[in-house]
Structure 1
């Protein structure tokens, strides 16, 4: 009888352990926003640009305006992770998911980010970045009201699958993609002149999608801060020049109505490398 009782206890323990580890039983944290910051580290981003980009995000999470935007949310907290990407198989989580619910947790996120080294890598796969960011959102222990991928980059997709396919699948799964096209220097060997239009037509999408082009190094930090505030608050920043179009909010777009080639990066790479 004692053996039978021990077996029943062991069986109950196994059942309870399995229940505790099942996805259904996993506790999820409710947040206003689950935000994946996906940062371009391809070789076309020079060290100074990388430093300015990193500093922009650090200053954003130290900003009282960002703290206030988080506090004003229905829940009053967001989840955020910081990812760096380059080629189709090169994406890394620099900072895992963190809950930011006020100045202290935001400052802690900024401080941890400031300690991480920067790196550079080859090729540019925006589609790979979007797909990787989708995985991070799907695997998080968060129950967000909104899901956003924040993509920065200084060139078009030139490796991996078509960026429009990755974008459309992300939108279909309820994700908004916002953009930070970096246009602070003359286009190089694998760049395009109308990167903001490329981001507008080929990269961003979903409810309330927008982009904030960066056209000077002096503008970099402020542009990143503005973008984070807009994403947290889910609305335009008062006093900023903006215009509406079919892709969402654009600040500001050049030559509205032009349609760039969403395969421009792939075509450039093939023509110049001969494959």
Structure 2
């Protein structure tokens, strides 16, 4: 269930200019993610957003900026907004986003993994961005769902029209050998492809461990944000 307080972060504070792409990013903070991995995830997202290639895409159309929303999730009752909807028009806007990400500290959360609940929160957030030309939900995770509604049971009509759900799956940690890590990532990628991702052009990106998260996130952002042809206009219809 989505908490009423969280809904406030979904709604823009005031009318804004045309929106090229609304991108909601959900980060897994369940019990399998330790303190070091939590930091690698937040700082990795910041590093990816601040890469030269991604900045070029972000600033390509100042009159139709990209909007970003970041939340963390674990069990059915833990979804915390880290960054409310924010338009990135200038370097100053991006700097504020990066500061928010790198200065966020972990709070107590559920040990379980509720991907279905994370999907519902992402859909609710994107539902307030219907004027954007393209809408995408990204879910990062290092394991399958084990509580709450199963992702495959989330009704197709709950997905906002024209929305794509992509995944970034993270393989097992440093203490395991390469063969085990490749096996883990292959299995988890198949799970996300079968049950989590959906919508036009949906895909799964992979990181062999959280130490590879920043590079994987940059690849994913570039693939998503470059998919919309410059000059295309017109929001998805509900």
The two structures have a TM-score, normalised by structure 1, of 0.68
Higher relative contact order (CA 8 A, sep 6+): 2
Choose 1 or 2 for highest CA Rg: 1
Contact 2:59/2:88 (<8 A) preserved: no
Among 98, 113, 131, the alignment partner of 1:124 is: 113
Q: Is the counterpart of residue 55 in structure 1 residue 43 in structure 2?
A: yes
CA RMSD after TM alignment = 2.6
CA, structure 1 residues 228+133, in 2 after alignment: closer, same or farther (shift >3 Å)? same
Structure 1, unaligned runs of 5 or more: 1-22, 236-275
Partner of 1:251: none
Q: Distance in 2 between matches of 1:89 and 1:152?
A: 18
Partner of 1:168: 156
Partner of 1:143: 131
Contact 1:62/1:103 (<8 A) preserved: no
Partner of 1:198: 191
Structure 2, unaligned runs of 5 or more: 1-10, 229-238
- Bigger mean CA deviation after superposition, 108-117 or 69-78: 69-78
Alignment: residue pair count: 208
Partner of 1:269: none
Alpha-carbon distance, 1:110 to partner: 0.7
Contact 2:30/2:74 (<8 A) preserved: yes
Contact 1:52/1:220 (<8 A) preserved: yes
What are the superposed Cα offsets for residues 202-228 of structure 1, whole Å, 9 maximum, x if unpaired? 111111111111113442211112112
Q: Distance in 2 between matches of 1:112 and 1:172?
A: 27
Q: Distance in 2 between matches of 1:197 and 1:67?
A: 31
CA, structure 1 residues 113+217, in 2 after alignment: closer, same or farther (shift >3 Å)? closer
Q: Distance in 2 between matches of 1:169 and 1:226?
A: 29
Q: Is the counterpart of residue 80 in structure 1 residue 80 in structure 2?
A: no
Partner of 1:215: 208
Q: Distance in 1 between matches of 2:224 and 2:64?
A: 14
CA, structure 1 residues 90+45, in 2 after alignment: closer, same or farther (shift >3 Å)? same
